[in-house]
Amino acid sequence: MIGSGRALLVVLHGCAQSYGDLESYGNWVDTSEDYGTVISLPGVAGGGVYFGCWDYYGSSHSRGSGDAADLLAHVDALLADPTLDIDPNQVYIAGLSSGGGMAMVMGCLAPDVFAGVGIAAGPTVGTSAFQTASVSTSLATAQATCETLAGSHADDFATQHMAAISGTNDYTVAQGYTQLNADVFAALYADAAGLPSLSSSPLVVEDLPGFNPAGVGTVYEDELGPRALRISATGMGHAWPAGSGSGPEIGFVATQGVDFARVLVEMLTAGNRRVVGGGLSEGGTGGESSDGGDDLGTTGSSSDGGDDLGTTGGSSDGGDEFGTTGGSSDGGDELGTGGSSGGGGSEDGAGEDPPCEPWVDVVVATITGHFPRFSSYPGGYGVADMTYVALFGLYGMYTAFPLYQAADGDWYHDPANVPGCE
């Protein structure tokens, strides 16, 4: 790894696509393990707008409201969990379609938070829901919108990276947005570096990671190296490029072609200028944990030595699965943080009639409303008996649930775990 911890890649699903589709078909595990990267696939709040879309629309976005506030709060909570060991200088965001548009919004709104942005078939910042079929903004307008959103954080464009991709068979979102998105960030990066423009050269798509990748592309560079990539993937439709093997596109995921997640992580690991070991420094490219236990490059650590509380999915040892790539829809044990479990609740008794009432306070709120009650415990960041990762897996962002305060001030998810309850 580079820097002082693991990288975090937040990946946003597209309209009419769920985080479960990305989890099932997105080809995350090898990249996550090879580069020690935490990958989180959150679901959009309340089913999203229109057809499950992220609200990237228009130019009025704020760190304190809407999807942007939720995503920043989600990142903050993951950063606060010591079991994940995430380096705040290695936080990246990517997405497909409306998720790609939202990733661009977040890269503009919070360049200090997101050191890298990946946009797959995403419309350009400032556009509306009815401007997807054709390019409906200009470089100058989009650049100005992005700079306005960044405000006092615009200087952080000097160390941000980005990549954009779309397929030649994508007729859902205009392919021209991919070129425009790359041009917008290239212009922002050039301005931040005091340059008239970044240089550009052809990208050999066939040399990229994936399964038979093909297409054309461009690399945008400053004097220190690559800053942005643009890829037009031959034959790909409106889909997240997983590059995992042969087969048709399924759930808006393309198995054949470029492995975009790996392209992003490789570029950002090699080029990150916010950390020691990134950019032009030497210092390794990631890998496994050195603590002699389980491979913690992607799975995190358990609070009790048994449950796998990682961020790429589930455990392989038969324990409960609390990965942050998504939740189960069958009511089973797989409780990812991308959304809420279909099981309707925890198996540990939370929400049922407790055997006694030793607590001094009970508060019902969503996970964001509970942030003031979270803290760091030996098992990780969250409450005394459950981590934030596991709670997010159970309830997602918008399902309210109770927390119980013990006499010593600690908060608990399961009332049966409050000291004094026997």
**Pairing assessment for the beta strands 210-211 and 257-258 based on DSSP bridges:** antiparallel
> In CATH terms, is domain 6-271 a member of 3.30.450.20?
no
Q: Is residue 97 among the annotated active site residues?
A: yes
Run of H or E including 229: strand 225-233
Give the number of other Cβ atoms within 10 Å of residue 123's Cβ. 29
Residue 49 φ/ψ, nearest 5 degrees: -105, 155
The predicted-structure confidence for 314-371, as pLDDT tens digits, reads as follows 322 322 222 343 333 333 322 233 333 333 333 343 444 545 678 788 888 878 678 7
Using an 8 Å Cβ cutoff, are 15 and 55 in contact?
Answer: no
The tokens describing 49, both together, are 């707008």
Pinpoint the residues of the chain covered by CATH 3.40.50.1820: 6-271
DSSP track, 352-372: SPPS----SEEEEE-TTTTGG
**Residue 130: partners with Cβ closer than 8 Å, 6 or more residues away:** none
The predicted-structure confidence for 103-160, as pLDDT tens digits, reads as follows 999 999 999 999 999 999 999 999 999 999 999 999 999 999 999 999 999 999 999 9
The predicted-structure confidence for 23-48, as pLDDT tens digits, reads as follows 889 999 888 988 889 999 999 888 88
Q: Which of 18, 32, 40, 97 is catalytic?
A: 97
pTM above 0.85, yes or no: no
The tokens describing 208, both together, are 């990229």
Q: What distance in Å separates the CA atoms of residue 241 and residue 206, rounded to the nearest whole number?
A: 14
Classify the C-alpha dihedral 406-412-416-417 as positive or negative: negative
Q: What distance in Å separates the CA atoms of residue 69 and residue 82, rounded to the nearest whole number?
A: 22
DSSP code of 53?
B
Using an 8 Å Cβ cutoff, are 355 and 349 in contact?
Answer: no
Place of tokens 């057809």: 51
